[in-house]
Structure 1
Amino acid sequence: MKLSTQILLAFTLIILLSVADSYTNYMMSKKVQLNSHFLARSEEIIRNSNKTHKAIIGMQSAFRGYLLTDDKIFLDSYFEGLKSVPNLFKVQKKRIGEHNAQRMLLDSIEMLHNDWLKYSKKLIESGKKDEGSLQTTLKKHVGKKINDEISTKFTRFDKIEYKRRKHHSIMLLTSLNYTRTFSLIFITLTIIVGVISTFYIMLITTKRISSMVRLAENISKGKFTSIQDTRNDELTALATSLNSMSGKLDKNIRELENRNAELNKFAYVVSHDLKAPIRGIHNVITWIKEDLDNELSHELKRYLNIIPQKTKRMEALINGLLDYARLNINVPPELIDTNALVREIADSIVPRNFTLEISDDLPELFTERIKLEQVLANLISNAVKYTPQEKGIIKISCRKFYKHYEFSVKDNGIGIAVEYHKKIFEIFQTLREQNEQESTGVGLAIVKKIIDDQQEDIIVISKVGAGAEFIFTWRNS
């Protein structure tokens, strides 16, 4: 399965869980809303029930006061009730709806109230005119019975409403609890799926990318290995490309090594073959001077003296080419005391009349001796060649940085013009005249090639007549 498909599936699952959570919350919120609405309406029903019952009781109290005192002022509350109670019944019916037990109770309460109104109206209209009929009606407790039955039915009405209210309160709390529970479950599942998916994808990708990084590092170090990746996704294509690159580089490096070996053998053979006629020319000139010294003119002797100088220069060029060719040879690194190495080189190169200053803090390095030795030897030799011997001064020092050392070889020689600072590192480039055999133009080219192969840097600080300072970096292996 492709990596993009796995990521898509993980995100799809997370989105589905989020949708399920949202849908569940929506449904639960609807139930919460319905129950909350019912409780609010129930509150109004109970309040209206109490208000209606209170208004009826007020009418009854006013009616009894009138009967006891025959004072019509008591009937004010009675007549107010005649106006308000029907509206209260109308509102209550609208709130409780049709076809339920409460509606039947409310209808029966209204009927009883209407019966009581008929009873009370009859008594009010008869007043004191029919004293006997009034006393008879009162003795039968007709009004009391109706009032008691109305109170009983109101109690039953309120009891039913409180019972329904309690049920919906429980439903409301249950809905709220379910909402919290489901939200917690879905959030937990979303987090778990997200975390597991993230860690899984990170684990498989990080592990595989790390193996590819190691492969790239091995390739950079010349170890052309390969990795096994059996998954069929985007990273597999990258692993396949790296393996292919590693294989091709390994093949090309082997071919280059074989060709370099052949070139080295060819260089040795050619150098030997080239040196032979040079030595022959030198020997012939020597024999001529020995055998015909008295017969040669002064001018011819001068010409014959030039020929050995040219042959020596040719031999020096051949030796330089051999040294340049040997730079491809790798030797194992070893621990080197650079202070001792510099003094050893200086003893064989620097003339006795030179002033040599070697810093005491030259480090110990674990590196390839032959390469560092060639760099130092060529730079010191270059300083000797381009410095007048009367007052020659050569200073060699080193500074330590975080990951590398910075060596300096400084002289007080003739200096180098700025426009030649890069050109001097090209092979066969020299600041001396071509008839001066000491300079072949190969030494600094060897230095530059070694520095580049080691992935280090070298610069020259100089101007004409002010000496030169070569600064190069070198890492501890």
Structure 2
Amino acid sequence: MKSKIDGKIIAGLGLAVGILLLTAAASFWSIRGLSVQTKRVEHTYQVMQQVANVAAVLKDAQAGVRGYLLTGDTLYLRPFSLASGMLPTSLERLDQLTADNTTQQARLDSLRALVEQEFRILRPLTDMNKSMNKAALQTLLDTDRQTLRQVRLLYDRIQQQEMALLAQRSALQDVFEKATPIVVLVSAVLAVIIVVWLVIKIVKELADNRRLQDELAEVNQQISRRIAQIRSLAEQVVQGDYTVKISDEADDNLGGLAISLNRMTQTLESSFSALEKRNQELDQFAYVASHDLKAPLRGVTTIVKWIEEELSAELSPQLRTYLTQMKGRLSRLEDLINGLLAYARVGRTAQSVSTVDVSQLLNEVAELVVPPDFTLHLGPNLPVFATNRLGLQQVFTNLLSNAVKYHHRGAGQLAVTCADAGRCYEFRAQDDGPGIAPEYHQKVFLLFQTLRDRNTAESTGIGLSIVQKLINEHQGKIRIESAPGQGAAFIFTWPK
């Protein structure tokens, strides 16, 4: 909407500016035309004035000479003397004024020739000392009259030509005088109309924009309210309440999302109800496994001990071997049952959070699972933070006991260090044991997967599965860096 309004405003302003420029151009053209025609009219008047001056001065010179001839008074020769100085200048001025008119230039040449002829006639008459008979004098006077008659005729033609030009130029001057205010007035009216139209359009667009903004604000409030309902449902689902529903039946995307979320909560409720039932069955299985299976297992183990104790003298070496193997199998079976129970309980017991000093925790674990001939090195940056102590203790217990259990020598070096990884701590449990080939880096975390012979006691293949499950329950990750003969490093992250 904003770009649309801006476009219309710019277009309207551009049109208004264009009209104003056109008005200015038209006014300039009219005023300039008026000025030009005014100058041309003045020019015509100047030509007419100059021609009249030439005729008048020439006539005064003739009259002065005639007065001199009649009276002999040299005072009458003054107009002739003045004409001698004025006429060349006047003729030169006329030549400049009619430079753009070839017809007048030709007539001006004729006028110049007549003026020179008139001076040639009058000049002898001004010399009283020069003797001249009556016949010669009469001839000069007659020639003088004829010359002046030709001057008057030529003067009339020049005047007629200039009067025609004056009429034409005056007509054009009148046209420009009348057109200039009309052009200015029409242009101003057009500019006012454009500006008024532009203001009306801007006001209308602004009103439409405000109305649309109000509608968008109302829609936004509705959407915000519906999204808040969806967010509230999500929060309640996160907290474990799967019975919550959204009462939104609008026929749009949010309404469809509300229906889908209602179906999801219904499905989750059914799924978690079934899962809770399965967990109860698993708890029952764990109870049976820990009591109904371990009780006869302990009974068989007791019977084997009784046989060894009461019939020790009658047992052959072969039978003793069989009894030893049986005790080993029974011990391994008990370890498997205990491991399965421990694996099943991961994530099902309440996780109490307390402040844990990792260095102190590792020392306690080392007292339980690290033999005296092994050395445990603790890094300098082991943290103290609030977390699930039991879970972290189980992880370190399994990692350190595995490092001891699978070591290929009687003694070894163990090390635990820590690095800050942002929202998590990254722990590294390193040993100098036989190492693990890269192809087994993922397999060792699977249930019942072990790198030792299955007949070897203590090799249940559950310890690292428990470690991985505990770390996953705490949103951490675990990986292995190892190669045969180079020891193994178990690196895992634990949230702060």
Q: Is TM more than 0.5 here?
A: yes
Checking the alignment, whether the CA contact within 8 Å between 1:62 and 1:75 is kept in structure 2 is no
1:391 equivalent to 2:379? Answer no
Gaps of 5+ in 1: 1-12, 93-155
Residue 43 of structure 1 corresponds to which residue in structure 2?
31
Residue in 1 that maps onto 2:326: 307
Q: 1:342 to 1:353 in 2, by over 3 A?
A: same
Instruction: Give the AA of the match of 2:340.
Output: L
Q: Spell out, residue by residue over 1:74-129, the C-alpha distance to the aligned partner (whole angstroms, 9 max, x if none).
A: 5575244255346546767xxxxxxxxxxxxxxxxxxxxxxxxxxxxxxxxxxxxx
Separation (CA, whole Å) in 2 of partners of 1:445 and 1:289: 36
Match of 2:74 in 1: none
Pairing partner for 2:342 from 323, 337, 344: 323
1:316 Cα deviation after fit: 0.6
Aligned partners of 2:415 and 2:431 also within 8 Å: yes
Deviation at 1:268, TM superposition (A): 1.7
The CA deviation string for residues 342-376 of structure 1, in whole angstroms up to 9 with x for no partner, is: 22222111122221222343212322233222211
Matched residues in 2 for 1:24 and 1:239: separation?
48
Q: CA contact under 8 A between 1:35 and 1:172: conserved in structure 2?
A: no
Contact 2:438–2:483 under 8 Å retained in 1 = yes
Corresponding position: 1:78 with 2:159? yes
Once residues 328 and 362 of structure 2 are traced to their aligned partners in structure 1, the CA distance between those partners, rounded to angstroms, is 30
The Cα shift of 1:378 comes to 0.9
Structure 2: how far apart are the matches of 1:277 and 1:350? Answer: 32
Match of 1:430 among 426, 450, 462: 450
Q: Distance in 1 between matches of 2:213 and 2:257?
A: 26
1:256 to 252, 268, 275: 275
Instruction: Check the 8 A contact 1:375/1:447 in 2, yes or no.
Output: yes
CA contact (8 A) 1:342 1:376 kept: yes
User: How far did 1:397 drift?
Assistant: 1.6
Structure 2 counterpart SS, 1:414: coil
- Counterpart in the other structure of 1:358: 378
- Asked whether the equivalents of residues 21 and 182 of structure 1 are also in contact (C-alpha less than 8 Å), the reply is no
Q: Distance in 1 between matches of 2:318 and 2:456?
A: 20
- Distance of aligned partners of 1:179 and 1:49 in 2 relative to their CA distance in 1, 3 Å threshold: farther
Give SS of 2:430's match. Answer: strand
Q: For 1:237 and 1:425, locate their aligned partners in 2 and report how far apart those are by CA, in whole Å.
A: 43
TM-score normalized by the length of structure 1: 0.69
In 2, Cα distance between the equivalents of 1:219 and 1:352?
A: 51
Contact 2:55 / 2:155 at 8 angstroms: preserved in 1?
Answer: no
Local SS of the residue matching 1:322? helix
For 1:286, the equivalent position in structure 2 comes to 305
Structure-2 separation of matches of 1:221 and 1:458: 28
Quote the offset at 1:404 in angstroms.
Answer: 1.0
Deviates more, 1:319-328 or 1:379-388: 379-388
Superposition deviation, residue 237 in structure 1: 2.4
Deviation of 1:71 after TM superposition, in Å, equals 5.4
Partner residue of 1:338 out of 349, 358, 368? 358
- Asked if 2 retains the 8 angstrom alpha-carbon contact of 1:354 and 1:394, the reply is yes
- Alpha carbons of structure 1 residues 176 and 170: separation in structure 2 relative to 1, 3 Å: same
Distance 1:397 1:221 in 2: 36
1:458 aligns with 2:478: yes
Residue 433 (structure 2) aligns with: 413
Secondary structure of 2:263's counterpart equals helix
Whether the aligned pair in 2 keeps the contact of 1:394 and 1:411 (CA below 8 Å) is yes
Distance (whole Å) between structure 1 residues aligned to residue 191 and residue 25 of structure 2: 14
Q: Equivalents in 2 of 1:52, 1:262: separation in Å?
A: 121
Task: Give the Cα separation in 1 of the matches to 2:330 and 2:417.
Answer: 37
Which one of 264, 275, 296 corresponds to residue 245 of structure 1? Answer: 264
Root mean square deviation of aligned Cα: 4.1
Measure how far apart 1:264 and its partner are: 1.8
Aligned residues: 401
Tell me the distance in 2 between the aligned counterparts of 1:419 and 1:229: 54
Question: Hey, what's the Cα distance between the residues in 1 that align with 2:316 and 2:180?
Answer: 147
Query: Match of 1:447, as an amino acid?
Result: V
The Cα of 1:445 is off from its aligned counterpart by 0.8
- The secondary structure found in structure 1 opposite 2:429 is strand
* AA matched with 1:262: E
Contact kept, 8 Å, 2:31 with 2:176, in 1: the verdict is no
Q: Secondary structure at the match of 1:329?
A: coil
Which residue pairs with 1:126 in the alignment? none
**Which secondary structure does the structure 2 equivalent of 1:409 belong to?**
strand
Q: C-alpha offsets along residues 369-402 of structure 1, whole Å, 9 cap, x if unaligned? A: 3322221111111112112563222212211122
Amino acid at match of 2:451: L
SS class of match (1:328): coil
Q: Could you tell me which residue of structure 2 aligns to residue 54 of structure 1?
A: 42
Distance, in Å, in 1 between the alignment partners of 2:31 and 2:190 is: 15
1:373 partnered with 2:454: no
Displacement after TM superposition at 1:433 (Å): 1.8
Write out per-residue CA displacement over residues 188-207 of structure 1, whole angstroms, 9 at most, x where no aligned residue. Answer: 67886788788777776677
Indicate the residue corresponding to 1:134 in structure 2: none
Deviation at 1:423, TM superposition (A): 1.0
State the TM-score, normalized to the length of structure 2.
Answer: 0.67
CA contact 2:230–2:246 (8 Å) conserved in 1 = yes
Match runs of 1:93-104 below 5 Å: none
Deviation at 1:303, TM superposition (A): 1.0
C-alpha displacement at 1:274, in angstroms? 1.6
Cα pair 2:430 2:489 within 8 Å, conserved: yes
Identity %: 32
**Residues 427 and 493 of structure 2 are in contact (CA less than 8 Å); yes or no, is this contact kept in structure 1?**
yes
Deviation string 1:249-275 (CA, Å, 9 cap, x unpaired) is: 343234213312321222221332221
1:202 to 1:334, Cα distance in 2 relative to 1, 3 A:
same
1:300 counterpart letter in structure 2: L
- More moved, 441-450 vs 83-92: 83-92
Q: Matches of 1:76 and 1:222 in 2, distance apart?
A: 120
Matches within 5 A, 1:176-215: 178=196
Query: In 1, Cα distance between the equivalents of 2:318 and 2:373?
Result: 35
Cα deviation 1:303-352 (Å, max 9, x = unaligned):
11211111111011001000011013142441222222222222111122
